[in-house]
Structure 1
Amino acid sequence: MLPGCGALLPRQVGIESRLAALPRDGLALQGPVTIRWNDHLVPWVEAGSDTDLAFTLGLVHGHLRGVQVALLRLVAQGRLAEVAGPLATDIDHALRILGFGRAAPEVVRRWPEETRAFVTAFVAGLNHATLHGPRPPEAGLLGLGREPYTPEDVVAIGRLAGTDINWLGYFSLLAERGKPGFARLWVRTREAGAGLAPANSGQAALGALLTGLSRSGSNAVAVAPGRSASGAAMLASDPHLGLSLPNLWLLVGMRSPSYHLVGMMVPGLPIIGLGRSPDIAWGGTNLRAASSDLFDVSAQPLTEAEVRIRQRLWFAATRRVRLSPQGPVVTDAAVVPSRPGEPIALRWAGHEPADEITALLRAARARDGEAFRASFANFAVSPQNMLWVDRAGRIGRLTAALLPDRAGFPATDPVLDAADPAATSPWRRLRDGGALPHLEDPPEGILASANENPASWVKAPPPIGYFFSDGDRVARLRALLQARPRLTAADLAALQRDTVAPKAAALAEGLLARLDALPGGAPEPALLAPLRGWDGDYAADSRAALVFELLLARLAPALQPEGGSGRGPETGWNFLTTFLLRDLDALPPARCEAVLRAAVAGAAPDAARYRDWGEVHRLRVAHWLVNLPLLGRAFVLADFPVGGSRETPMKTGHGMVTGPHEVSFGSMARQISDMADLDANWFTLFGGQDGWLGSAAFADQVPLWREGRSIRLPLRPETVAAEYPRVTVLRP
């Protein structure tokens, strides 16, 4: 109880106290290791061996983010009910079925010796901090014990971060199969290129969990020397994930015999996901590839096991988990809808013994773009568009994925027949990064990626996926890059904070044209006035963005077909930009007029209550414990207006808007590197480095994030010594 109270009323802890608490006795090191720290508690590790570097990184992860790593493992293992009680049991059952760690034993068995040694040392450091470090206050609130980690746990956490974002669209579609209008819905879903909203509350909870923890969004751009003011290549990347604290990234710098780089690491994983070495810088975006297929396994043999789910403050529960030759039967989970008696299995590339850790360790050691691309030969999940720039001035992008060698996608139903060899045979021929699209040195000297359809940058790509960003973000990024003949790092920083959605402007213009065409002209001219000439900028002080979103929220539901589920065009930006105007025009004239007038009349009183977009579009600074019932409000640190929207470069995701709402997903970290200077690397997190409640470094980067400032992570030793003045020496 006392540690729980400590989480609710955390004691303020300074940087020096947090450094003094780092475990230093009994360390399994071969030699001394120096860690330099800056004022934001960013570590820069200098080690005499690669394994000492790995051990120290694990120690730092455990010290700064110990509870976060423990919770990532609980999610990956389907053990949330151990801290959340019976409310999480159905989610745990779904997670057990998905089996993030299913391939881990075989992955570990196949590791090359260099990977095995590095991960083993990392796990040893993580365990040292876990077993011997101070107990974070929230560990007591959650009832977390001191449980050691294994290499298999690391693989499972990595596969959790590689979740296929298509699952949520698939599962929602399962709820509609067999209903009148499904054929039309499937055609519209394919055309829009986006999935549907969750079908039930349990699925929504699972979706929020997986999208908040997996790399489901992001922007990245690369600039060739001929377009760079510095005369060298530049790269910028900003991943999109859950906007809760602690951040799902950790900033680090490191040097050992094989590694010299700075960048972002996922807590609990021994790899740099986005970073810079003296030779190469890289970032990436989620490819949104279909690395999974659904199969009807009614005619296949199934093996069955019973799993025991421990529930905090209650008795253990048992659930059934069934496996087919095509994968686990996901419709056994209560949160996954299905037709009675129809077992649907999930075939996922994340259940294959691929090796993302080795791929990223090799990428960190690459000396040029060719070596970087070759590193991803056995990378599976989550599928990524990786953008890179190197010291020689080359820029490129590659497809990092492991996908079935499909001839195409089903035209009428997302569920395949497991008895059909044509449906199952592509999984016996998997394409890796070497057989998937890549591009180097485009003539225009720029590259941009924002989860777009690969058909936008490569001719006739192989079948890759269904659900992509609608292209608004990537079009805006390209326009901003092309607007200047020579780009600076400051230009890239401004690009990351841009809040313009070009398709919003086009959609608003289309709505105004239809309203103006009504008998007597558009109703409520004062309400609609801000939309005239609006450029689609979702700045926090924009009145037009507010009015536009209020109109959408009234229009979209009114366009649902009779008897529809209410989860069609109104649920996502792709649906809105693809169908909203088309559906309006398809209505009989009298009905179209009634819908438009009702939307304006309904939006007017809402618009009168609020001044601008930022008054309703709110970004909450809160620990993830804010989701706890009753106690959650104790973990809110701040709440402020924010710009951006679903598909602006500075993404701040939301749904339909009728009033104040909280942004929970979007641009939560930033990276910029200029290859002209070893020290020209800037990073920012939404939040801070330290996961310890009450720490001075828990949320100290939020002002930087809001103001567009950043932290420099240099590579030159003399700069590191000057800007990272606090020194910790670890000894064997």
Structure 2
Amino acid sequence: MVLIFRWMVRLAGTLIAVSVLAVLGIYFLASRSLPEYDKELAVSGLDARLEIVRDNANVPHILGASDADVFFGLGYAHAQDRLWQMMTLRRTVQGRLSEVFGTRTVEIDTVMRHLDLYPLAQAAVPYQDERTQMALSAYARGVNARLQEINENALGRGAPEMFLFDMPIAPWQPADSIAMIKLMALRLSGQVDTEVLRARTSLRLPAERLIDILPDAPGTGVVALPRYAQLLGGELPQLAAIDGEFDPLSPFGPARLAGASNAWAAAGSRSAAGGTLLASDPHMGFSAPGAWYLARLELQSGGVIGATIPGIPAVLSGRSDALGWGITAAYMDDQDLFIEQLNPENSNEYRTPTGFKPFRTRQSILQVAEEKPITLTLRWSDNGPILPPDFQDVGSVTPKDHVAALGWSALTTEDTSASAAINLMSAQTVDEAMQAGEAMIAPALNLVLVDSRQIAMKTLGRMPRRQSSHQTKGRMPSPGWIATNRWQGSLSYAANPESKNPIGGILGNTNNKTVDRPFPLHVSYDWGDTQRIQRWTRLMQGRQVHTRDSFIETQLDTVSPAARTLLPLIGAELWFTGEAAPEGTTERRRQRALALLADWNGEMNEHLPEPMIYSAWVRALQERLIRDDLGPLADEFMHMEPLFIERVFRDVDGASAWCDVIQSAPVESCSDMARLALDDALLWIDEAYGLSLESLQWGEAHEAAHIHPVLGNVPLLRSFVNIRQTTSGGDHTLMRGLSSGEVDAPYRNVHGAGYRGVYDFADPDSSVFVIATGQSGHFLSRYYDDLGELWRRGEYIPMSLDTDLARAAAVGVTILTPK
């Protein structure tokens, strides 16, 4: 027995020792890929000595003898810090994720192959101007110089993820950067999802109720829509079950994650210091590492500093000494779904206005790790690529013997968007910047600009030219064989909305409706905000003059105008009514909740209980209002729509009909629904948290989740690679933090301002910026999440073009010389 015990001890000791050695070995190999910032290196593809000064936040200041060398340095810096991210995104747009991740990503790759974005990017290279082609080529050489350094010096394959996944790396090409812009456009596009949802909902609701649940942004004119079933005729589509799982590797998600942002500017007349001001915080889905990367480029036209996206050689939101620019998602309707009718005698043909015509086709081989290859047949009609039926669930609105095609401005070889991004950095005035923006095709963005004298906002992106007799006005899928539904080219850049030097001295955008023009010059029927714009307007008008700090205060504002509007409506017959109920009863708990909300100003502060009670209440209320009318389709409305609740409780055009439960004999009032929903909410809170109402903290539920797209769900590793922060804000606050809407964690913060910047042209070097995670994509690096805590607390770092300041606290200086 003693002998057995000794052997067990020895075996256990051996296993522990082997485990420790294995962990140390893995750490050693992974740490080999940590970039060294303080070094001198001879590289190929460089013309002269290049210096990359990393300031104390690890922001690279790239100083070179020519613009080509500076772009080279940006490519090298991106590859140092975000190599895995860049290679994964490139595989995404190429439709080659499954070569690495197997069957998990087959659906993503299938859609990307059908969209054909990467071949379009390759074909677009010759359409860029000479300067842009130079920048793309130099940037690619910089990325490849880092790849060569990794291979020659055995630097751990460049990223720790490379040890876990067999991902061969090809050299970076100029087309890869154009493909990254197209991928960004895809992430910011939500019109397909919106069209499908509106069509599916119209199959269940009459037109007057459809406008309740999918309301137009406030403004004149409501377009009457045809019934979708009548539009197509023939057999109705079967409503497919929706898979609620969202893969973090997927670039396409529901419209709620299509993009959001804030940007605004003040003229010198509205600035305390007399200089123009600009604030910008573009919103995207959270991830670890984040989408944004801070950098400074010292170009021949002057220094520029701000937010870049790894893979794209441009500062997309930032400033120079002369110009500042910020961006918001424009919500332009630059996508249309066309339903194509197949020839009953030959399914390789589709119906056109002049008869049946063969699809344009091509075979594509999809390689899948450890599985047999999949052969895809890609098809195109005159209207665009034919989509797989499971993409955004288009199959649920596609009748039998029909297919769906996508019309999208980004699906062109003559895409000069990269030229717009590159040339914007050299612009010295608002007018020059607006001229550079004409080359932008997609994504559609609102560009907010300031120089020393002027402020302006211009919508960028190519707007489709639709006929006024279009059957659905682009709001739902339309028959592709009807000539009046087809696009007639595109509108001129002059048709894009523009505002310059307004009399009030302030302009901005929160994804709100920007113009009130009739179709087809309308830009869009679906906008990203109807609430934040109310708060922004009030804060801007509340001061005669503004400062950098007042712009920061506005950027970080957490008051919900939706809460302030809805609570008096839904609680109108509940506030302080009835006698005090006994402790422990449902009525007593309801009274305590109402008492808390009665004294609340709508601030979605992470330390307060009221935001939790309010959010749970309105979520439960919308669920009760729509579930009996929509059935399973109610699952698609994951977020409370303030305009819908307001229409119902104000009984706009009979909208209070939603309050009556169809299946029940009694006629329920809206007050009944509000009371029952509050009880639902309090029950959910009790089951989820088990705390007294006063002890609740909104931040516990509203935790920002920056999840690693690949390793985020791997036990043990997820503790190292995911970044989580309790946060204030909500779906309708200027400091927006969109909740997931998922059943298990409905208020998890999954989408917000990954970058914030405020630029003060009275003292440009006092400008500030920050990102939500850190500069490095290496989870063993101290720069992986170091900026995240500043971001969470609403703090910033200096946005200075002062090279001496960067050198004074540099964490490293990299000298690159020609080999």
TM normalised by structure 2 equals 0.82
Q: Which runs of 5+ in 1 are unaligned?
A: none
The one-character-per-residue Cα deviations of 1:18-62 (angstroms, maximum 9, x if unpaired) are: 315x78333311111111111221110111111111111111111
Whole-angstrom distance in 1 between the partners of 2:613 and 2:329: 31
Of residues 693, 697, 707, the one that matches 1:612 is 697
Question: What is the number of residues matched between the two proteins?
Answer: 724
Report the alpha carbon displacement of residue 120 of structure 1 after superposing the two structures with TM: 0.7
SS in 1 for 2:419: helix
Report the alpha carbon displacement of residue 321 of structure 1 after superposing the two structures with TM: 2.0
Do structure 1's residue 680 and structure 2's residue 766 form an aligned pair?
yes
Q: Determine the structure 2 residue equivalent to 1:653.
A: 738
Q: Determine the structure 2 residue equivalent to 1:265.
A: 308
Report the alpha carbon displacement of residue 336 of structure 1 after superposing the two structures with TM: 3.0
Of residues 368, 374, 380, the one that matches 1:323 is 380
Report the alpha carbon displacement of residue 724 of structure 1 after superposing the two structures with TM: 4.0
Whole-angstrom distance in 2 between the partners of 1:679 and 1:306: 54
Q: Is the 8 A contact 2:302 2:321 kept in 1?
A: no
Of residues 93, 96, 102, the one that matches 2:110 is 93
Q: Determine the structure 2 residue equivalent to 1:107.
A: 124
Report the alpha carbon displacement of residue 680 of structure 1 after superposing the two structures with TM: 2.3
Do structure 1's residue 181 and structure 2's residue 181 form an aligned pair?
no
Do structure 1's residue 170 and structure 2's residue 195 form an aligned pair?
yes
Do structure 1's residue 550 and structure 2's residue 589 form an aligned pair?
no
Of residues 50, 65, 68, the one that matches 1:33 is 50
Q: Determine the structure 2 residue equivalent to 1:253.
A: 296
Larger radius of gyration: 2
Do structure 1's residue 566 and structure 2's residue 637 form an aligned pair?
no
Whole-angstrom distance in 2 between the partners of 1:3 and 1:673: 50
The change in CA–CA distance for 1:394 and 1:328 in structure 2 (over 3 A counts) is: same
Report the alpha carbon displacement of residue 513 of structure 1 after superposing the two structures with TM: 0.5
Moved more, 367-376 or 89-98: 89-98
Q: Is the 8 A contact 2:456 2:501 kept in 1?
A: yes
Q: What is the letter of the counterpart of residue 343 of structure 1?
A: V
Q: Determine the structure 2 residue equivalent to 1:355.
A: 416
The one-character-per-residue Cα deviations of 1:1-26 (angstroms, maximum 9, x if unpaired) are: 99997998688969996315x78333
Report the alpha carbon displacement of residue 713 of structure 1 after superposing the two structures with TM: 2.5
Q: Determine the structure 2 residue equivalent to 1:62.
A: 79
Q: Determine the structure 1 residue equivalent to 2:283.
A: 240
The change in CA–CA distance for 1:337 and 1:51 in structure 2 (over 3 A counts) is: same
Whole-angstrom distance in 2 between the partners of 1:501 and 1:29: 52
Q: Determine the structure 2 residue equivalent to 1:474.
A: 533
The change in CA–CA distance for 1:554 and 1:708 in structure 2 (over 3 A counts) is: closer
Q: Is the 8 A contact 2:409 2:462 kept in 1?
A: yes
Of residues 644, 664, 668, the one that matches 1:591 is 668
Do structure 1's residue 219 and structure 2's residue 262 form an aligned pair?
yes
The one-character-per-residue Cα deviations of 1:254-306 (angstroms, maximum 9, x if unpaired) are: 11323421111110001110010111101010001111111122214312333
Q: What is the letter of the counterpart of residue 232 of structure 1?
A: G
Of residues 204, 209, 226, the one that matches 2:251 is 209
Q: Is the 8 A contact 2:566 2:646 kept in 1?
A: no
Do structure 1's residue 541 and structure 2's residue 541 form an aligned pair?
no
Whole-angstrom distance in 2 between the partners of 1:726 and 1:438: 43
The change in CA–CA distance for 1:724 and 1:330 in structure 2 (over 3 A counts) is: same
Q: Determine the structure 1 residue equivalent to 2:359.
A: 302
The change in CA–CA distance for 1:623 and 1:717 in structure 2 (over 3 A counts) is: same
Q: Is the 8 A contact 2:723 2:785 kept in 1?
A: no
* 1:104-503 pair list within 5 angstroms: 104-133=121-150, 134=155, 135=157, 136-163=159-186, 164-173=189-198, 179-181=203-205, 187-188=211-212, 191-192=215-216, 200-201=242-243, 204-205=246-247, 209-210=251-252, 216-298=259-341, 299-300=351-352, 301-333=358-390, 336-338=393-395, 339=398, 340-352=400-412, 353-391=414-452, 393-407=453-467, 410-411=471-472, 414-426=476-488, 428=489, 430-455=490-515, 462-503=521-562
Report the alpha carbon displacement of residue 417 of structure 1 after superposing the two structures with TM: 2.3
The one-character-per-residue Cα deviations of 1:130-177 (angstroms, maximum 9, x if unpaired) are: 343232111121222221122222111110001222222234446557
TM normalised by structure 1 equals 0.91
The change in CA–CA distance for 1:187 and 1:567 in structure 2 (over 3 A counts) is: farther
SS in 2 for 1:284: strand
SS in 2 for 1:239: strand
Moved more, 68-77 or 319-328: 319-328
Q: Determine the structure 1 residue equivalent to 2:7.
A: none
Whole-angstrom distance in 2 between the partners of 1:567 and 1:710: 38
Report the alpha carbon displacement of residue 189 of structure 1 after superposing the two structures with TM: 5.8
The change in CA–CA distance for 1:207 and 1:313 in structure 2 (over 3 A counts) is: closer
The change in CA–CA distance for 1:2 and 1:253 in structure 2 (over 3 A counts) is: farther
SS in 2 for 1:86: helix
Whole-angstrom distance in 2 between the partners of 1:173 and 1:316: 36
* 1:515-526 pair list within 5 angstroms: 515-516=574-575, 523=587, 524-526=590-592
Q: Is the 8 A contact 2:777 2:784 kept in 1?
A: yes
Q: Is the 8 A contact 1:176 1:182 kept in 2?
A: no
Q: Is the 8 A contact 1:55 1:123 kept in 2?
A: yes
Whole-angstrom distance in 1 between the partners of 2:25 and 2:309: 23
Q: What is the letter of the counterpart of residue 573 of structure 1?
A: E
Report the alpha carbon displacement of residue 517 of structure 1 after superposing the two structures with TM: 10
The one-character-per-residue Cα deviations of 1:616-670 (angstroms, maximum 9, x if unpaired) are: 2222354333444556634455544211111211111115487754222112111
Moved more, 332-341 or 534-543: 332-341
Amino-acid identity (%): 23
Report the alpha carbon displacement of residue 82 of structure 1 after superposing the two structures with TM: 2.2
Q: Determine the structure 1 residue equivalent to 2:570.
A: 511
The change in CA–CA distance for 1:360 and 1:562 in structure 2 (over 3 A counts) is: closer
The change in CA–CA distance for 1:479 and 1:102 in structure 2 (over 3 A counts) is: farther
- CA RMSD of superposed structures (Å): 3.3
Of residues 787, 798, 817, the one that matches 1:701 is 787
Q: Which runs of 5+ in 2 are unaligned?
A: 1-18, 219-238, 342-350, 353-357, 582-586, 661-665
Whole-angstrom distance in 2 between the partners of 1:5 and 1:81: 28
SS in 1 for 2:737: coil
Do structure 1's residue 667 and structure 2's residue 727 form an aligned pair?
no
The change in CA–CA distance for 1:601 and 1:7 in structure 2 (over 3 A counts) is: farther
SS in 1 for 2:88: helix
Q: What is the letter of the counterpart of residue 387 of structure 2?
A: V
Report the alpha carbon displacement of residue 436 of structure 1 after superposing the two structures with TM: 1.1
Whole-angstrom distance in 1 between the partners of 2:34 and 2:723: 25
Q: Is the 8 A contact 2:35 2:80 kept in 1?
A: no
Moved more, 560-569 or 3-12: 3-12
Whole-angstrom distance in 2 between the partners of 1:637 and 1:332: 33
Whole-angstrom distance in 2 between the partners of 1:599 and 1:395: 46
Q: What is the letter of the counterpart of residue 624 of structure 1?
A: P
Moved more, 529-538 or 565-574: 565-574
Q: What is the letter of the counterpart of residue 18 of structure 1?
A: E
The one-character-per-residue Cα deviations of 1:462-521 (angstroms, maximum 9, x if unpaired) are: 221122123211221222222222222122122221111112211111111043598989
